[in-house]
Structure 1
Amino acid sequence: MRIEVRPEVCVGAGQCVLTAGRFFDQGEDDGLVVLRRTEPGPAETAEVREAADRCPAGAITLREP
């Protein structure tokens, strides 16, 4: 799985950071999503899927290989 984010769509709700802080952060100036890691390991995929599902703006996309 590969994680992609679209900061231009993000509303800064921070649900991704609360759910999967190892993968997502928020910009200091604008609060928009920042991707920290692009590929979760097998044990981390559920966490990343939950973060994507909780994003109110749909700014997180998960690509399967």
Structure 2
Amino acid sequence: MNTMLEAKSLTILEDQMNGEFLACKKAEHYASTFEDAQLKNLASQVAACHRQRYDRLFNYLNSHA
């Protein structure tokens, strides 16, 4: 059963998605610029974490649209 989201909830969800997207892109950028393998790996893990959060929010939005 899909329920429509209220406008305020959509605004909050949009803000969260924008934040996760930006954090993912920043971490991906850092991963591409670091020369140290440990830092590169850590930044890649952080990017993946933010990507997963973004994907979960996106799927939630689609299931309630």
Under TM normalisation by the shorter chain, which class is it?
0.3 to 0.5
Give the TM-score normalised by structure 2. 0.33
- Structure having the higher helix fraction is 2
- Structure having the higher strand fraction is 1
Larger radius of gyration: 2
